[in-house]
């Protein structure tokens, strides 16, 4: 039986362009994400993809509507919101935001030490994640000493160190070469196969094919969605998705 883990109800987001004018980026959006789903958010530039992701993750405050995590409202206070993100959400950005003067394992442990009291256990978990993602030998290297793909896999490990219920990713392969992109996407695919809930924004058809449901935004509105079979060949999924996107005016 499917269980809803993340939900947006009549979600709205507006920005003041100046003191007299507002830009309604997301006018009225409903979205339900079930536990264990790999959901892709797509749409043209300026359609509100990243804004929606930030609202779902509590990184931006909604102008109206609600976001619920496991049935509970996203806290309104910044402190409670930050505590919830640390324990229930992992977030991966296009720019990995690693701290340059910390080693890779130290970058991962920064997040762990904010939540976990047992530092020995946290370090063991960090090492295991690095091993799983093929970067165990890079523990003592600094971000500038490894490739972009290795940096991004480190940032994914950092996002997962506290066993989040939901992993949010905003264009995680947008600045990577093709080889690094494939490694990162395979990492997401493996996580999904183990039951991790993932919500990912991307503009890349190839990346979107790793998901099982694609939702399409236009002017901040969810206009359609496409279910994809995990068992279909990659080439078939790319063709189906591309045709569907073209129909939407992508």
pLDDT of 1 strictly over 50: no
Question: What pLDDT, in 10s, does the model give residues 229-247?
Answer: 888 898 999 999 999 999 9
pLDDT of residue 2: 67
DSSP per residue over 6-53, as a string? Answer: EEEEEEEEEEEEETTEEEEEEEEEEEEEETT-EEEEEESTTSSHHHHH
**123-140: average pLDDT:** 95
Q: What is the mean pLDDT of residues 189-200?
A: 95
> For residues 1 and 65, which has the higher predicted lDDT (pLDDT)?
65
pLDDT tens-digit map of 78-125? 778 777 777 789 999 988 899 999 999 999 999 899 887 789 999 999
11-20, 69-78, 108-117, 164-173: the lowest-pLDDT one? 69-78
Q: Which CATH number fits domain 4-247: 2.40.480.10, 3.40.50.300, 3.30.1780.10, 3.40.640.10?
A: 3.40.50.300
How many whole angstroms separate alpha carbon 111 and alpha carbon 158? 7
Q: Mean pLDDT over all residues of the chain? A: 92
Reported pTM: 0.92
pLDDT for 11 equals: 97
- C-alpha dist (Å) from residue 33 to 36, 181, 206: 9, 25, 22
Work out the pLDDT band at 20, boundaries 50, 70, 90.
confident
pLDDT score recorded for residue 65? 95
Instruction: Tell me what the mean pLDDT of segment 188-215 comes to.
Output: 95
Percent of the chain beyond pLDDT 90? 73
| pLDDT confidence of residue 3 | 92
Name the pLDDT band for 56 (thresholds 50, 70, 90).
Answer: very high
Q: What is the reported pLDDT for 135?
A: 95
């Amino acid at each position: 039986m499917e269980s809803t883990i993340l939900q947006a109800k009549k979600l709205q987001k507006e920005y003041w362009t100046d003191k007299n004018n507002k830009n309604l980026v997301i006018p009225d959006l409903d979205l339900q994400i079930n536990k264990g789903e790999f959901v892709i958010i797509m749409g043209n530039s300026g359609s509100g993809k990243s804004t929606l992701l930030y609202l779902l993750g509590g990184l931006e405050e909604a102008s109206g509507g609600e976001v619920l995590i496991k049935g509970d409202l996203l806290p309104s206070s910044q402190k409670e919101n930050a505590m919830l993100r640390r324990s229930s959400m992992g977030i991966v950005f296009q720019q990995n935001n690693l701290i340059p003067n910390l080693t890779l394992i130290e970058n991962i442990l920064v997040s762990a030490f904010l939540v976990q009291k047992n530092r020995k256990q946290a370090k063991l978990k960090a090492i295991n994640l690095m091993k799983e993602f093929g970067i165990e030998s890079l523990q003592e290297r600094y971000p500038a000493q490894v490739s972009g793909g290795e940096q991004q896999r480190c940032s994914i490990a950092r996002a997962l160190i506290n066993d989040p219920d939901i992993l949010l990713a905003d264009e995680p392969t947008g600045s990577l070469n093709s080889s690094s992109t494939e490694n990162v996407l395979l990492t997401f695919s493996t996580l999904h196969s183990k039951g991790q809930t993932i919500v990912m924004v991307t503009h890349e058809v190839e990346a979107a094919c790793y998901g099982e449901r694609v939702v399409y935004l236009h002017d901040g509105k969810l206009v359609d969605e496409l279910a994809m079979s995990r068992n279909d060949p990659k080439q078939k999924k790319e063709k189906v998705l591309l045709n569907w996107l073209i129909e939407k005016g992508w």
